Every structure is written in C-alpha cells, then in structure tokens.
Amino acid sequence: MPTGEKPLENLTVASQERQKRRVALVVQYLGDRFHGWQRQPNYRSVQEDLETAIGSALNHSRVITHAAGRTDTGVHAAAQVVHFDAWTCIPASRWMSILNGRLPDDILVRASVPVPDDWHARFSATYRRYRYTLYTHAVPNLFAKSRAWHYYRAPLDETLIQKALEPLIGRHHLAAFHRAGSDRPHSWVDVQEAFCVRNGDFVVIEVQAKGFLYGMMRLLVGLLVQVGSGQRSLESFTELWRSENRDEVKYAAPPQGLCLLRVGYDPNPFPIETWYDAQPLLSLPTQFPQS
C-alpha cells in the first residue's frame, strides 16, 4: 500500500450493503515496462498489477480480471476494457479513484461503471480498434521513440497503404497475419474499417474488427510498410493474404507503435469522453521560423 494511503474502511459507504457487484473499467497503460496484459510467472503484466490493486482495496482478496483483448509485450492501450466481480459495499463509480490511488504510474483507470452479471469485457464487445503510428522524419525524436516506429529508411506513400487496406474490409481468412502460438481454432476476421492517413511526419494506420488474430496488427503493418515504401506491389500484397501465404510474412512491426485505441459495445456503458479516441495523435510543426 503506498505511503499515506488510507485503509479501505475509510472509503466505504455506510448506506451501501455488501453484495456481489460486476464492475467494468476503462484502463490505460503504457506497454514499455510490461510483458503484455496477461498474468504470467516471472514477468510484470498489466493484469497482475491491476488485480493486486483491486485486491488491496478488498483486504487482499483474490480477484480475477477479464480484459477485452490481450495486448502483447510493449503494446500500449488507450482504452482497454476490463471487468471483475467482487463482494463489496463499494459502488462501481468509486473504483476509478480507489484504484488510481493504488496503481503504478504507467497504469490509469479512466472510468468505472456498474454492468449486469451477464456482461463480459471480451464476449460482449462488438469491435476492437487498433492504431499504429510511424514516425518518418530522418531526425530521431525521443518523445516519439516510445510511441511510434521510427521508419525513415525510405519514403512512405500513405495513399498506397490506404489502397492496400481497402480490399481487407469484410470477412476474410487472414491466416497470413496469424502468429504461431495462438489457441484460436480459425483465422476468420471481420474487418469493419481500415485506413491510413499522414499527419506531417507521422503516418497513422487504424484497423477496426470484431476480433483480431494473435500478432495480426504488427504483421499486417510490417507488410503494409513494404507496400508504402515501394518494396511490394499492391497486387502482390493482396495475393499474399488471399492465398494465406504465411511463409512470406516474415517481419512484424515493433510493438511501441501499436495501441489498443478502444473497444466497442452496444449499448456502450461508459461516458464517451472517457473511452473514445483517448490516445493523443502525435504531431510536429511542418514550418519553422527563419533565423
């Protein structure tokens, strides 16, 4: 418990009866120092830190959290969605402030709301949306280093990347972008939206789908960069994933450029300002004063 933190008894509400409650959270984290979302022995994970904080508020009771998606090592989240069950008198709305007083400085809770007992962070989701950011200027920038892939070896044409993304909209078998080690029995993906835009020296790729394959976004971006830099034609890119040629997809984009942007629900239980587009877009001036 952090120094000066008050015991849970001072946070309870006398008028509330102790009962089983399901609480949903919007959680942000910086992936740099985590070995991904999922709890695992000998490595730091977001799940373990979050469960430890919840448990400390419940007199060290064991709590299991469930996330909408399992982000990999080094991947960030702007609006990961998590739920947990607890026998407590604490109203759901109080958990945001309670947990932010207990969590390390690379995890933050933006919202906490009550949800029905049959609501599930993973299985109730209608989509996940990821954003990948590339920094294309030749001069390195420390402020972009941990949030973007510094790709400057060749110019990137965002219009070519956009054209490559368009045929992916719809339901497709994307085995070419499915990393080994997944327990998912198939590679079908329902891609709802995909686009690429340039913002000065930053190129942003966003993909929204009902669900994502293990490692899909980083493998996809690695191949899209080949298209945008002229190393691979649009026709070759489309033929590769349609033929499910996993052997040709050899390079994954580095993790620091990837962020779980948000997770969708119908109806959405969270205030829109806590959940929608919570990752700031990186930008730098394109013109400088003459001196």
41: domain CATH number is 3.30.70.580
* 163/218 same-domain check: yes
81: closest CA among 54, 117, 120? 120
- Alpha-carbon gap, residue 191 to 220, rounded angstroms: 13
* 131/259 same-domain check: yes
Domain that holds residue 50: 9-114
* 227/156 same-domain check: yes
Residues labelled catalytic? 72
What phi, psi does 120 have (nearest 5°)?
-135, 130
- Alpha-carbon gap, residue 192 to 72, rounded angstroms: 22
* 194/234 same-domain check: yes
Residue 20 lies in a domain: yes
66: closest CA among 105, 115, 101? 115
47 Cβ neighbours under 8 A, 6+ residues apart: 37, 38, 39, 65, 67
* 159/219 same-domain check: yes
pLDDT means per 10 residues in the chain (291 residues)? Answer: 45 61 98 95 96 94 94 97 96 97 98 98 98 97 96 96 98 91 81 97 98 95 97 96 90 97 97 94 86 67
* 90/137 same-domain check: no
- What local confidence, expressed as pLDDT, does residue 182 receive? 67
* 168/243 same-domain check: yes
168-220 pLDDT per residue, tens:
999 999 999 998 766 777 899 999 999 999 999 999 999 999 999 999 999 99
Is beta strand 66-67 parallel, antiparallel or unpaired with respect to 170-173? unpaired
Q: How many domains, in total, are found in the chain?
A: 2
